[in-house]
Amino acid sequence: MGATETVLASPELENSVFLSLLRLAFDKAGSHLLETKGQEHVINILSGTCALHLQLADGRRMTIESAGNREDIFSGNPEMVYIPIHCRYEIVCQKFPFDAVIYMAPTNESAPVAHVKPDQVRMLNSGKSDWQRKVFIGMGEDGPATRMILGETESPPGNWSGFPPHRHTKPDLPREAKLEELYYFNFSPPSGFIIGGIYDAPEAKEDARLQLFRHGQVFGVSWGYHFLAPCPGYRVRYTWALGGHEKVFGAWLDDSELAWLHNS
């Protein structure tokens, strides 16, 4: 009770093919029940604090007394909770406004419940010049999620992100993995926007599909070379998940015409 649950992406909505994304928000104290069934869940807490009461697949119960540490997504490292398949859990809001996104992926594997705290998050400086950004890896290729890699990225105002354009479309390890990606955007102030671009091949940029995304919207990428171009003057920080059976971070292929930028 007291929560607003919104499905932002799913195969049923036809804006993703593998991953699903749910937003859960409380503007007052309350609780909300969820069930993982045949999907693993990762909760990324953007603001507020909650407790979690879990019933695991084998009937055992456990509690995470407190999770969440931020006033908003811009005020610190992410904090995440992994919940395996065939679990029921209750999120109890302790401090509001509470805002979280829950990434979901189908899997037949199970792993232990995990609580990744802010000091366990790995931060990378990626890119340079006007395409530099900070990447926060909450759950990497070594787990705990079995089908997802998750984190957040923050770009300085106007800096492009996800650049050079890259793809992770074909199962060709170690060079490239087949992974879907879901971005969820946040801006400060909230009136900002970002352009998401996607195209088939380096020589086909003129056929790129471009779309404008605003605060709280989702960009799903299941194919092609893709990039992000934020508007100047606004902070942007987005959550992301890479999902698939080949869970390897960095196994993507850069657009061959722009890859030279790494050495510029």
pLDDT tens-digit map of 41-86: 999 999 999 999 999 999 999 999 999 989 999 999 999 999 999 9
> What pLDDT, on the 0 to 100 scale, is given for residue 33?
97
- Mean pLDDT for 90-102 is 97
pLDDT at 127 over 80: yes
Q: Of 12, 16, 13, whose CA–CA distance to 183 is shortest? A: 16
The pLDDT-based confidence of 263 (bands split at 50, 70, 90) is confident
User: CA 174, CA 165: separation in Å to the nearest integer?
Assistant: 19
How far CA 109 is from CA of 5, 73, 105, in Å, comes to: 26, 30, 11
Give the CATH number of the domain where residue 226 resides.
2.60.120.10
Q: Which amino acid is at 98?
A: F
- Which range of residues forms the domain containing residue 95? 3-263
User: CA 166, CA 224: separation in Å to the nearest integer?
Assistant: 8
Provide the domain count of the chain: 1
The pLDDT-based confidence of 20 (bands split at 50, 70, 90) is very high
Q: What is the pLDDT of residues 199-221, one digit of tens each?
A: 999 998 989 999 999 999 999 99
How far CA 150 is from CA of 28, 240, 247, in Å, comes to: 28, 6, 11
User: CA 256, CA 5: separation in Å to the nearest integer?
Assistant: 41
User: CA 83, CA 144: separation in Å to the nearest integer?
Assistant: 9
> What pLDDT, on the 0 to 100 scale, is given for residue 1?
63
Q: Which amino acid is at 77?
A: N
- Where are the extended beta strands (E) located within 56-203? 61-67, 80-83, 88-106, 114-116, 122-126, 133-139, 148-155, 161-167, 180-188, 193-199
pTM of the model: 0.96
pLDDT at 2 over 90: no
DSSP string, 140-156: BTTBS-SSEEEEEEEE-
Q: What is the pLDDT of residues 227-257, one digit of tens each?
A: 999 999 999 999 999 999 999 999 999 999 9
Q: What is the pLDDT of residues 163-213, one digit of tens each?
A: 999 999 999 999 999 999 999 999 999 999 999 999 999 998 989 999 999
